[in-house]
Homo-oligomer: A and B are copies of this chain.
Amino acid sequence: MKRFLIIGHKAVTEGGFSLNDMPGGAGRMDVLCRCVNSCFFLSHDLRRDVECYLLLLGEPNPPKTILIKGNEVRYLNPDERSAGSLIKKALQVVCGEEFIESTKGIYIRNGGLERLLNEIDFSVLDENGTDIRSVEEIPENYILSDHMNFSEEEESLIKDLPKISAGPKVLHADHTVIVILNEHDRREK
């Protein structure tokens, strides 16, 4: 299993946002939607061995964690609106501390980064990290930030985790996921 956690620093935490304004009113929800696409889509197939965690830190009810499981998810199409629509549905569910399923293969709970770090051994995707092509043992689990840098509080929580880089240029989060999965594909073949 490969896991990607993307932190959406401004992504709203209620389901009333407009699919027509995901970069604005929804707090750059478009970034998270593209990351969902990157995690799962192959030509005429889904990556069933990937899980995608979205950490939503925008108003009004942060933090919330959405989990999408590649081996269970249904109704997901590649366009941004499709992922956005499923995120909206998840945010409309009244959730507690444990994951509850909103639509097939998509789960939501209250809770943030610290809890996830206690549950999963993550590496951090970081422009100054070790090149993914040169790591001997490729990590399974990765943390990425959206269009913003990690906050000081997040930096202090992740400072001792391994750092991995996707290459010489700093890429958008969704593009980084593609490069990392391509390296996995090559090592697994």
Task: Give the complex CA separation of A185 and B175 in angstroms.
Answer: 13
- Asked whether, in the complex, the Cβ of A78 is within 8 Å of the Cβ of B34, the reply is yes
Known: A30-B79, A79-B22, A79-B23. Is A167-B179 also a contact (CB below 8 A)?
Answer: no
Within 8 Å of chain B (Cβ to Cβ): is A166?
yes
Within 8 Å of chain B (Cβ to Cβ): is A115?
no
Interface 0/1 of A10-43, CB less than 8 Å to B: 0000000001101100000011001001100111
Interface 0/1 of A136-169, CB less than 8 Å to B: 0000000000010000000000000000001111
Number of residues from A at the complex interface, CB < 8 A = 34
Closest-CB distance, A61 to chain B (whole angstroms): 24
A-B contact sample (18 more), CB < 8 A, given A43-B147, A43-B169, A179-B182: A19-B20, A20-B20, A22-B79, A23-B78, A23-B82, A30-B79, A31-B78, A38-B175, A41-B172, A41-B175, A43-B170, A78-B172, A79-B80, A80-B81, A166-B182, A168-B189, A178-B178, A178-B179
Known: A77-B23, A79-B80. Is A43-B182 also a contact (CB below 8 A)?
Answer: no
Report B-chain residues with C-beta under 8 Å of the C-beta of A100: none
Within 8 Å of chain B (Cβ to Cβ): is A171?
yes
Known: A22-B79, A23-B77, A77-B23. Is A169-B34 also a contact (CB below 8 A)?
Answer: no
Task: Give the complex CA separation of A189 and B168 in angstroms.
Answer: 7
Closest-CB distance, A109 to chain B (whole angstroms): 27
